Amino acid sequence: SYELTQPPSVSVSPGQTASITCSGDELGDKYACWYQQKSGQSPVLVIYHGTKRPSGIPERFSGSTSGNTATLTISGTQAMDEADYYCQAWDSSTGVFGGGTKLTVL
């Protein structure tokens, strides 16, 4: 079965840039997307089609893909960005999530 791999945790200082990676076979061809989930809340879509940002999502969130890796980048990270982040893609009509990355802003 298809798998997506994320680092369990990433730490960043306020104002700095955070990068969260997601790797999977031929992920660059699968329209990876990213969800943010704050404690006790439902997930929110922050990046779709690998690089596109829904309206209402701050410009500091960006996505990129290259080969087998998708990356979520948060520039000028703020305390409010502390959350779990999940990458997601489709493989043969099956939805697959990465294991999630806990972003800590310290």
Partner 1 sequence: EVQLVESGGGLVQPGGSLRLSCAASGFIFSSYWMSWVRQAPGKGLEWVANMKQDGSEKYYVDSVKGRFTISRDNAKNSLYLQMNSLRAEDTAVYYCARASSSSWWNWGQGTLVTVSS
Residue 93 in the binding site for partner 1 (CB under 8 A): yes
Residue 57 in the binding site for partner 1 (CB under 8 A): no
Residue 83 in the binding site for partner 1 (CB under 8 A): no
Q: How many Å apart are CA 106 and CA 93, to the nearest integer?
A: 39
Task: Name which of 15 and 90 has its Cβ closer to partner 1.
Answer: 90
DSSP assignments along 35-67, one per residue? EEE-TTS--EEEEBTTTB--TTS-TTEEEEEET
Q: Please say whether the beta carbons of 91 and 32 come within 8 A.
A: no
Determine which residue in the list 2, 23, 31, 69 makes contact with partner 1, applying CB under 8 A: 31
Q: How far is the CB of 80 from partner 1 (least distance, A)?
A: 19
Q: How many Å apart are CA 87 and CA 46, to the nearest integer?
A: 10
By the criterion CB under 8 A, which residues form the site for partner 1?
A: 1, 31, 33, 35, 37, 42-45, 48-49, 54, 84, 86, 88, 90, 93-100
